[in-house]
Amino acid sequence: MPYNRPPPEQRSRQPDRFYSVAQATAYHSDANASIQRDLTLLALSLLPPAAATGRLLDIGCGSGLSTAHLPPHAVGIDMSLSMLQIAAASSESSFVCGAAFALPFRDAQFDHAVSISMLQWLSEKQLVRFFQELSRVMEPTGTAVFQVYPLDLAHAAEMVAAAQATQKCATLVADFPHTNSALKWFLCVEPQRSAETTCERCPLARRLHGTCAYRFRVARRLAPGRLLHEHLQYAWHAYRKVARRRVLESSDAPPPKKHKKERSIFPNEEALVVALEAALGERLTLDALKAASDTVVNLVHATYTAVEAAVEP
Ligand SMILES: C[S@@+](CC[C@H](N)C(=O)[O-])C[C@H]1O[C@@H](n2cnc3c(N)ncnc32)[C@H](O)[C@@H]1O
């Protein structure tokens, strides 16, 4: 049976009530600890490297599953007392009870901030107030990284617009926090930067018509993590599908009935293989793709962006 329960933020608009003692205890499980650890470490890796030594705020810290992976001087804030009681019992960090949209801190008290699985709790109005509060309590040079669960494109746009309304640069990117290929969304809010000219799209981030974090990371000299591996796998998979179809087309035997779904090749995959062969030669190997990984990522993005642009009005 598929698990169809809506996420907590759709079942309640009041996190402090939703996270009762029982709910907070259930949330603080080993399974969630492992998921939230991966999300937190990935969010940290999207902050400037110096952030680890700065004054760090964990917004919507809950039972401390995210705060546990931040430097010990980090401060956590949450609306739910039940969540905070568990956090305080299991961590040496400081925890404060309060709402994200009325932060009980002094101006410029923090250098940077992270927030894991919290932002989707805020209504559109609360989002606007929250980002005003964040820009008050964070140094103007600070960066904040939010791991978020936008419902859809409009919800993602609301988050970005609320952050940009405080004159910050807000970029929504997909990244790979876990060892499997499940991607998650991160909203990175930074001081205004000179505009990044590229608006390329990535087939790995197609759900929200978005981009992956590769370009974001390269522009800030941050390590690409699993992003390279996932793009290389994508390119290799596309190449193998096209190569297999070519073999079938050149043979008189009827095509096998099995793996029908796997044989469908998307227009951007077709375009990608043509572009890869033009750049790297016709007999591609996974090693050849690995050796030219930056080119491969560029072509994955360029071909997808071009094909999407051609089908959109
Ligand atoms: C899914 S939990 C995530 C907790 C923690 N960051 C983690 O990674 O385990 C979301 C948390 O956000 C908190 N939250 C939601 N809306 C909030 C708000 N407006 N102000 C403060 N905390 C909020 C909830 O109380 C809850 O503890």
Q: Where are the domains of the chain?
A: 8-192, 228-253+262-303
Q: Which pLDDT value is given to residue 92? A: 86
Q: Which pLDDT value is given to residue 74? A: 96
Ligand 1 centroid to Cα of residue 60, in Å, is 3
CATH superfamily for 8-192 is Vaccinia Virus protein VP39 (3.40.50.150)
The terminus-to-terminus CA distance of the chain in angstroms comes to 39
Q: Which pLDDT value is given to residue 262? A: 57
238 close to ligand 1 (CB < 6 Angstrom)? no
Q: Which pLDDT value is given to residue 2? A: 47
Choose among 184, 203, 222: nearest CA to 306. 203
Nearest CA to ligand 1 atom 13: 60
Residue matched to tokens 């993005």: 301
- Asked if residue 313 has pLDDT above 70, the reply is no
100 close to ligand 1 (CB < 6 Angstrom)? yes
Q: What percent of the chain has pLDDT over 90?
A: 79
Q: Which pLDDT value is given to residue 250? A: 83
Q: Which pLDDT value is given to residue 138? A: 98
Q: Which pLDDT value is given to residue 194? A: 67
98-110 average pLDDT score: 98
Nearest CA to ligand 1 atom 9: 65
Ligand 1 centroid to Cα of residue 139, in Å, is 23
- Asked if residue 56 has pLDDT above 50, the reply is yes
Nearest CA to ligand 1 atom 23: 60
pLDDT band for position 1 (cuts 50, 70, 90)? very low
88-102 average pLDDT score: 94
Q: What is the mean pLDDT of the chain?
A: 92
3-state DSSP assignment of residue 78: strand
Q: What is the pLDDT of residues 151-167, one digit of tens each?
A: 999 999 999 999 999 99
For residues 255 and 60, the model is more confident at 60
- Asked if residue 84 has pLDDT above 70, the reply is yes
For residues 97 and 200, the model is more confident at 97
Model confidence, pTM: 0.92
Other CB atoms closer than 10 Å to residue 112's CB: what's the count?
23
User: Which amino acid makes up residue 159?
Assistant: M
CA-based torsion, 112, 46, 154, 76: positive or negative: negative
Most confident range, picked from 102-116, 199-213, 255-269: 102-116
Ligand 1 centroid to Cα of residue 209, in Å, is 26
CB within 8 Å of 214: residues ≥ 6 apart:
202, 224, 227, 228, 231, 297, 301
- Asked if residue 312 has pLDDT above 80, the reply is no
pLDDT band for position 282 (cuts 50, 70, 90)? confident
36 close to ligand 1 (CB < 6 Angstrom)? yes
Task: Locate 217 and state its tokens.
Answer: 């990371």
C-alpha triplet 290, 295, 297: angle, nearest 5°: 80
79 close to ligand 1 (CB < 6 Angstrom)? yes
19 close to ligand 1 (CB < 6 Angstrom)? yes
190-204 average pLDDT score: 81
